């Protein structure tokens, strides 16, 4: 890594450590404990702690037993590798508390103790300084008399410090040879004087910093046993801290044993002075260690800088050697270029001689150029003549082509049924307005009776060239093709420019969608069948031989319905025969004046003038969306697409059509959007993509259409939910179980699978297989329920 990055990383880590240590410093200061912070860097944490304990003579250490997230109430031994290593390898004089998540897990006791101050011959005083007092100042303590004093002689209040009471009691007289060890043992003799224990100092509770639970002065050499002090008289001493000095005074019997108190006071002063010197020495030692560690760190940094400089020097030396080699290479290239320049100068002389020769030749070519210009003018005149002859030939070819198209548009044989103008007038009662059933830009449509047959008579405008062309086109198409879903042309009258069709009593699909004359709305089953029938009729027209036929004006107004609501496509006035050339791979018709209804017209036909079978596919897509939603055709594709994106398709379905099965409605919506794509290359093929979706939907709709339905079924007639097909939302007759575990009507799930789906209609997850298992138990239950309903 970059040395600067290493330095920045170390500074960042040191800042984090100092921030954490500052929190402990703040706690210690609040508790009036003197302390210092020391940051030491080590590669091995356990080895570093072990060295620090030995180097500083640490006698008390608190460390974590494991990470907090590994804490458990049953844990009684350290878990981390560092804690386990220190438990075994740390200096034996150090007492270690292992904690985790604020709980003391276990303690490793020290094997050695701090030496105690030797007692005097006459008195034995035991003192024990807790290891925590090595790093902090001695707490304030006062030796009180038995009766409390409120204030000093000067009247100023005493400091609010923790004080301990010391009572000095004289032991019974003992011999001169009594040893200090004998004084520490319990006495079996009767004691006539009052007994008291001398308690000076404090033992801090580890969990509560700075809080004194009991005040005693222990002797570390004697494991903390209290010591009695004998004297000639009972005296009490008061211990008050003043700049870390002790003061003693006689409270009672001022003429007592002064020598004993003087020696005691000197011992206390010596102990305090020794402690202060030890603390100062320890502080100096810590500062020296910190300076040493800082110096070692600086040495490491200098070594890193030195190594970095050595690496930089090597890089510079390598760069210098490479530059020397490049300079030598440039010198060789310079010599080579100099030689080439000398050769170029010689070649220049040769080129100058050649230029002189070429100038002479140029003069000769200029003379030839003048002659060439004259010849070019002659050739230009010939070209214009040939262009005129070509234009004449193209015009003749276009005339021949137009004549050929007209010849194709004329039927091979005239209609067998021809009617006179008088017959048409008689059939319509002189074209009575009451019998008029339609009117448009092409002309008018009348209902009439002709030769005992109810017919529809369309009269085109005889003086309009458009009306005459539509008349011929209609005869040309309908006299050649026959299909159950195409309007049947019975005959024609050229004299009146009239066409006679079969009469379809239910009018156009546009009128039924608008519920004209309060007619009932079409059910979703009828609408699905109309889509199926229009797909069948268009597929038949597009596959016509030898020339495919494009309707060009597919819309609900040109779809008529018979008595049984069977749809039939009519109005072939602007349809076109497609001629496939020897080089073209797609059948199309090109025009500069597109005709049709704007909302249903192919956008590419409007922009390019090219009419193809997929132009009818676009119109069919708009009709599918209209039948599904009942909305007007303008921007209907955007409305349906937005609803699908928001997963709210049910909100735009036409409610007058009944309860659309959601699966069928979803399939028809996607099919309509696919057919109504702006780019014709993205639209599906009728015989392939559209038919595979429409045919299963038609079969499913036919099944539900023949089943009996009740407008207001009673509660008893309502089938249980598990009798209803999830796709048709109708009572099942032939239930089958699919791979997703759900039960469907056999025709419904087969139609779903045959339309190209490989996912479950209920979960939308991939199906493991396409096999269907008859649910005979459910079928028996349905039959039994139906029989019981009939008996009721």
Annotated binding site for ATP: 458
Distance separating alpha carbons of residues 399 and 218, to the nearest angstrom: 132
How far is residue 71 from each of residues 81, 99, 102, 409, measured CA to CA in Å?
Answer: 15, 10, 10, 95
Q: Which of 553, 571, 602, 616 is catalytic?
A: 553
Name residues whose C-beta falls within 8 Å of residue 276's C-beta, 6 or more positions apart in sequence.
Answer: 244
Within 10 Å of residue 336's Cβ, how many Cβ atoms? Answer: 10
Strands (E), 369-510: 436-439, 443-450, 453-460, 489-493, 498-502
CA-based nearest residue to 137, from 213, 245, 295, 4: 245
Which residue stretches of 491-550 are H helix? 509-513, 524-542
Q: To which H or E segment does residue 61 belong?
A: strand 60-64
Is 259 in the active site? no
Judge contact between 220 and 116, C-beta under 8 A: yes
How far is residue 460 from each of residues 430, 497, 588, 633, 661, measured CA to CA in Å?
Answer: 16, 6, 28, 27, 43
* 470, two tokens: 């539509």
Q: Residue 98 burial (CB < 10 Å; 0-12/13-18/19+)?
A: buried
Q: Residue 753 burial (CB < 10 Å; 0-12/13-18/19+)?
A: middle
Region of 757 on the Ramachandran plot (φ > 0 left; ψ -120 to 50 alpha; else beta): beta
CA-based nearest residue to 747, from 759, 734, 761, 729: 734
Question: If you ran DSSP here, which 8-state letter would residue 102 be given?
Answer: T
Within 10 Å of residue 755's Cβ, how many Cβ atoms? Answer: 17
Judge contact between 28 and 209, C-beta under 8 A: yes
Radius of gyration of the CA atoms of the chain, in A: 58
Beta bridge partner(s), residue 144 = 165
* 207, two tokens: 């969990």
Binding residues: 458
Pairing of strands 567-569, 559-561: antiparallel
Total residue length of the chain: 792
Distance separating alpha carbons of residues 326 and 335, to the nearest angstrom: 14
Within 10 Å of residue 751's Cβ, how many Cβ atoms? Answer: 26
Catalytic residues: 553
């Amino acid at each position: 890594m970059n040395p600067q990055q290493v330095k920045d990383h170390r500074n960042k880590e040191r800042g984090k450590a100092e921030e954490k240590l500052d929190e402990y410093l703040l706690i210690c200061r609040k508790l009036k404990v003197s302390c210092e912070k020391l940051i030491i860097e080590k590669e091995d944490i356990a080895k570093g702690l072990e060295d620090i304990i030995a180097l500083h003579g640490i006698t008390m250490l608190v460390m974590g037993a494991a990470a907090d997230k590994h804490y458990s109430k049953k844990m009684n031994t350290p878990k981390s590798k560092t804690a386990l290593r220190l438990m075994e390898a740390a200096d034996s004089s150090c007492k270690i508390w292992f904690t985790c998540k604020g709980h003391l897990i276990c303690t490793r006791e020290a094997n050695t103790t701090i030496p105690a101050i030797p007692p005097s011959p006459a008195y034995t005083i035991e003192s024990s300084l807790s290891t925590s007092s090595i790093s902090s100042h001695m707490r304030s303590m006062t030796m009180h008399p038995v009766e409390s004093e409120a204030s000093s002689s000067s009247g100023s209040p005493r400091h609010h410090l923790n004080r301990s009471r010391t009572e000095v009691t004289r032991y019974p007289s003992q011999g001169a040879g009594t040893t200090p060890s004998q004084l520490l043992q319990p006495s079996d003799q009767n004691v006539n004087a009052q007994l008291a224990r001398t308690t000076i100092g404090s033992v801090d509770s580890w969990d509560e910093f700075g809080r004194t639970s009991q005040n005693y002065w222990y002797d570390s050499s004697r494991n903390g046993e209290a010591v009695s002090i004998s004297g000639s008289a009972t005296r009490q001493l008061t211990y008050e801290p003043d700049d870390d000095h002790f003061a003693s005074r006689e409270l009672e019997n001022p003429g007592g044993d002064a020598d004993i108190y003087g020696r005691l006071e000197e011992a206390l002063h010596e102990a305090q002075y020794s402690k202060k010197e030890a603390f100062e020495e320890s502080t100096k030692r810590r500062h020296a260690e910190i300076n040493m560690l800082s110096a070692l760190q600086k040495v490491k940094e200098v070594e890193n800088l030195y190594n970095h400089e050595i690496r930089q020097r090597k890089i510079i030396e390598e760069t210098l050697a490479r530059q020397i080699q490049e300079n030598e290479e440039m010198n060789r290239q310079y010599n080579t270029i100099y030689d080439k320049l000398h050769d170029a100068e010689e070649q220049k002389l040769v080129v100058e001689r050649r230029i002189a020769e070429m100038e002479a030749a140029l003069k000769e070519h200029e003379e030839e150029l003048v002659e060439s210009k004259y010849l070019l003018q002659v050739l230009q005149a010939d070209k214009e003549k040939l262009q005129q002859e070509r234009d004449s030939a193209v015009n003749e070819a276009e005339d021949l082509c137009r004549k050929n198209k007209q010849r194709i548009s004329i039927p091979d044989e005239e209609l067998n049924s021809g009617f006179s103008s008088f017959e048409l007038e008689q059939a319509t009662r002189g074209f009575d307005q009451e019998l008029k059933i339609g009117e448009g830009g092409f002309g008018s449509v009348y209902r009439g009776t002709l030769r005992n047959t109810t017919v529809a008579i369309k009269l085109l405008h005889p003086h309009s060239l458009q009306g005459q062309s539509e008349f011929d086109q209609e005869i040309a198409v309908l006299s050649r093709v026959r299909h159950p879903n195409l309007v049947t042309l019975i005959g024609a009258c050229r004299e009146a420019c009239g066409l006679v069709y079969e009469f379809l009593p239910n009018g156009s699909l546009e009128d039924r969608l608008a519920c004209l004359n309060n007619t009932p709305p079409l059910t979703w089953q009828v609408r699905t069948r109309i889509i199926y029938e229009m797909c069948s009729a268009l597929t038949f027209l597009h596959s016509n031989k030898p020339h495919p036929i494009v309707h060009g004006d597919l819309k609900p107004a040109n779809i008529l319905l018979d008595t049984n609501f069977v749809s039939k496509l009519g109005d072939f006035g602007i349809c076109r025969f497609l001629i496939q050339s020897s080089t073209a791979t797609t059948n199309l018709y090109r025009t500069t004046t597109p005709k049709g209804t704007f909302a249903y017209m192919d956008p590419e036909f409007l922009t390019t003038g090219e009419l193809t079978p997929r132009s009818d596919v676009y119109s069919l897509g708009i009709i599918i969306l209209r039948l599904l939603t009942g909305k007007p055709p303008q921007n209907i594709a955007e409305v349906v697409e937005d609803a699908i994106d928001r997963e709210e398709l049910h909100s735009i379905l036409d409610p007058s059509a009944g309860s659309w099965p959601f699966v069928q409605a979803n399939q028809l919506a996607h099919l309509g959007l696919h057919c109504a794509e702006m780019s014709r290359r993205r639209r599906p093929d009728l015989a392939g993509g559209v038919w595979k979706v429409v045919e299963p939907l038609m079969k499913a709709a036919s099944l539900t259409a023949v089943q009996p339905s009740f407008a207001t079924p009673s509660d008893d007639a309502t089938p249980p939910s598990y009798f209803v097909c999830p796709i048709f939302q109708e009572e099942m007759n032939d239930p089958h179980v699919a791979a997703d575990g759900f039960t469907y009507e056999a025709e419904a799930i087969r139609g779903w699978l045959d339309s190209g789906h490989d996912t479950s209609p209920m979960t939308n997850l991939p199906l493991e297989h396409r096999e269907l298992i008859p649910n005979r138990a459910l079928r028996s239950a349905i039959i039994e329920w139906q029989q019981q309903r009939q008996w009721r």
